Amino acid sequence: MIKLYAFYPESKNITVIKKVGFTNGCAKVIFNKGVNIERFRPLETSNRSKYIWNSKRDSLSIYTNNRLKKTKFSLLQFDGSKDTISISLSKKPTEFKLKFLPKGFEALEDLKLNFNEPVSEYLSEDIDLMKDSTRMPITLSINTQNPYQMTVNGNYEPNSKYTLRLDSASIIDATGRAIDSTTIQVSTFKENYLGFLTVNIITNNKKNMFLELLDPKGKLIRISDSFYGAQAINFDELLPGKYNVRLIHDNNFNNQWDTGDYNAKLFPERVINFDKSINVRSNWNLVEDWEIDKE
């Protein structure tokens, strides 16, 4: 069998892959690699702008309510040169609002609210969770790793319906915009609604590996911890439905798939797909055996 690999040469300099003007509430810039904080410098000193990086520091979101037509920043390259990047700002950013709600959530878990812009602050006294006509005690927090997400912690009961009321200006985004008055209905799953999946990896291979669990459209749902050789990998508390599983040989121990580097003569990390989709059922522990590299 002949193995073919595709290489993606990596540029030494930091380059902008894509930039989007302030058309959906923020300006966004995507880089070809992670940007060290000392290499990035805003050229406007306005305190009305907020810069939020993703975890890899290769994607930047810029939120601003200043009246300039453009925002600029400079990048220090590895050869000592400086590049200036300019991004246009629109006159009318979109409304700050809830982006989507879960179809339901586990009673033992917290309710998570996802917004279209990063949350900066909130007023607890203006946010109510009701069950029937009873006001429920809750605590609120902003996800520091994902400021678009807010957690509503409470004593939820299985198979129950709740009403969440957000008063006008009870939640503020990164540019100071307030949410409008909003009332939403949420519900918890019935008891023992979620399913469980165990994948038994049967192999003689002793390399570092991990599994990815994906939905039918290829969206990543879960990542397992790294493991070596034969192992039973558990995915707990899954929504009933179909999933796909793939195994990745993690050569550099970073728990993500790497595409390789032609200049450094590094091959893309090996990926093996499970040969069928897996149907997880409610209140059921499904076990799948997967033989890999047994020869």
Q: What DSSP assignment string belongs to 179-208?
A: PPPEEEEEEBPPTT--EEEEEEEEES--SE
The tokens 């020869």 sit on which residue? 295
Q: What does the pLDDT read at residue 61?
A: 80
Maximum Cα–Cα distance across the chain = 67
Per-residue pLDDT of the chain (295 residues; tens, 9 = 90+): 555 555 555 556 788 887 776 655 567 788 888 888 777 787 765 556 677 888 888 888 877 665 556 777 788 877 778 888 777 765 556 688 898 777 788 888 889 999 988 898 999 999 999 999 899 999 999 988 888 899 999 999 989 999 999 999 999 987 778 899 999 999 999 888 889 999 999 998 888 999 999 999 998 999 999 998 889 999 998 989 999 999 999 887 788 887 777 777 777 888 999 999 999 999 999 999 999 876 5
Tokens of 25: 């509430």
Q: Output phi, psi for 287, to 5 deg.
A: -120, 125
Say how far apart CA 140 and CA 149 lie, in whole Å. 11
For residues 209 and 179, membership in a common domain is answered with: no
For residues 114 and 62, membership in a common domain is answered with: no
Distances (CA, A) of 230 to 29, 204, 246, 290: 42, 7, 15, 10
Q: What does the pLDDT read at residue 47?
A: 56
Say how far apart CA 136 and CA 156 lie, in whole Å. 9
For residues 200 and 287, membership in a common domain is answered with: yes
Entry pTM: 0.55
Say how far apart CA 274 and CA 278 lie, in whole Å. 9
CATH of the domain at 283: 2.60.40.10
Length of the chain in residues, anyone? 295
Tokens of 39: 């290499």
Say how far apart CA 63 and CA 60 lie, in whole Å. 10
Say how far apart CA 32 and CA 34 lie, in whole Å. 7
Say how far apart CA 40 and CA 31 lie, in whole Å. 12
CATH of the domain at 56: 2.60.40
Decide if 7 is inside a domain: no
Contact in structure between 52 and 118 (CB atoms under 8 Å): yes
Decide if 218 is inside a domain: yes
Q: Number of structural domains, the chain?
A: 3
For residues 199 and 281, membership in a common domain is answered with: yes
Decide if 8 is inside a domain: no
Contacts of 149 (CB under 8 A, 6+ apart): 112, 113, 114, 115, 119, 142, 143
Contact in structure between 258 and 269 (CB atoms under 8 Å): yes
Say how far apart CA 153 and CA 285 lie, in whole Å. 28
Q: Which domain holds residue 43?
A: 16-88
For residues 284 and 210, membership in a common domain is answered with: yes
Say how far apart CA 72 and CA 49 lie, in whole Å. 11
Decide if 234 is inside a domain: yes
For residues 84 and 105, membership in a common domain is answered with: no
Alpha-carbon radius of gyration of the chain = 23
For residues 48 and 131, membership in a common domain is answered with: no
Nearest in space to 104 (alpha carbons), one of 153, 159, 183: 159
**Looking at 30, 61, 88, which one is the last position of a domain?**
88
Nearest in space to 32 (alpha carbons), one of 89, 87, 75, 81: 75
Nearest in space to 119 (alpha carbons), one of 90, 92, 100, 146: 146
Fill in the DSSP letter of residue 77. -
Q: What does the pLDDT read at residue 93?
A: 60
